[in-house]
Amino acid sequence: MKGLANVGDTLAGKYRVDKILGIGGMGMVVQAMHLDLDQRVALKFMLPAALESPEASARFLREARAAGRLTGEHICRVIDVGRFESGSPYIVMEYLEGYDLGTLLKRRGPLPIAEAIDYILQACEGMAEAHALGIVHRDLKPDNLFLATRVDGGRIIKVLDFGISKATVTGLATKTGDILGSPAYMAPEQMQATKDVDARADIWSLGGVLHQLLSGKTPFSGDTLPGLCLAVMNQPAPSLVTLRKDVPPPLAEAVLKCLAKRRDDRFTDVSDFAQAIAPFGPAGAVGAVTRVRSLLRGRATPTTLPPSDDEAHRSNQGVAPTLVES
């Protein structure tokens, strides 16, 4: 393999490439079939030019390690990692049917309030598990929140791309001076020093995504990258009540709290954020807050979470809930 895979190629002796899903500056993602298991997967690997950068290689492997530690249903699951004969690494992930929230916004524009809250609460569940393990994503944006279709036809948010995540437990961090992430969703402190971030940088990003889901616009903009960065650093975020008449003021205030310039002025953690926005979400939103808080506090694993509102209701009526493990 010389870098670019073609449909029909067999990679690592067991993955047949069925479709090219995407090619970026650093890597390539393909839909592949595990020939021994007859299982469809997504396979991600680096391009030759990217392999010349030690930091890029480390970032790629960091994604595998970070995502591999997470087992919840709201994280895109890592199935395997390995190296091709050339020595370049690859990651095998679950294959997801659907599209990301960036694509959804392009198709539909601003979303109904309850629907937008639902998606963000699901993202909070995924990030609660990550934050409990000391993993900060640092690049949450609509393109990294994937609306996947379940086997039963239902839809679920999956958090993608932990490639620039910071694992505070193990001390992983980027070099001083690197700017990694997407500036439109990047917290001010992350622009100043990428290694000086904690979970509150992800809360900033989630607030920015929710702002866009409800208004169709990012909270900050600029004609140039320096202009955008200056706006993030210095300008106050616009209130959603000025952009959309049906947004309740408390919801708009919650989003503004996420986007506070000083991280000490933001929500302490994703469970506090989830609790603030849940009243404006769909039925069952309160149960999502409970799951977020349990995951964040480390009192539950993704397969031993408290029941949803529907399950609790059935239990109170003497009907045993059906437990489904992801």
Q: Which of 58, 78, 89, 296 is nearest to 173 (CA)?
A: 58
Sign of CA dihedral 120, 78, 59, 132: positive
The tokens describing 85, both together, are 């004969």
The one-letter amino acid code at 127 reads M
The contacts of residue 193 (CB under 8 Å, 6+ apart) are: 176
Q: Give me the residue label for tokens 């609660």.
A: 128
| Spatial separation of the C-alpha atoms in residues 196 and 326, rounded to whole Å | 34
H or E segment at 93?
strand 89-94
Q: Which of 153, 32, 163 is nearest to 94 (CA)?
A: 32
Residues carrying an active site annotation: 139
Q: Which of 135, 49, 42 is nearest to 90 (CA)?
A: 42
The torsion angles phi and psi of 39, rounded to 5 degrees, stand at -120, 130
33, 56 in Cβ contact below 8 A? no
The torsion angles phi and psi of 261, rounded to 5 degrees, stand at -65, -45
302, 72 in Cβ contact below 8 A? yes
The one-letter amino acid code at 323 reads L
**Which residues share a beta bridge with 27?**
46
| Spatial separation of the C-alpha atoms in residues 252 and 167, rounded to whole Å | 31
Q: Which of 53, 88, 313 is nearest to 175 (CA)?
A: 53
Give whole-number Cα distances, 323 to 29, 303, 306, in Å. 33, 9, 11
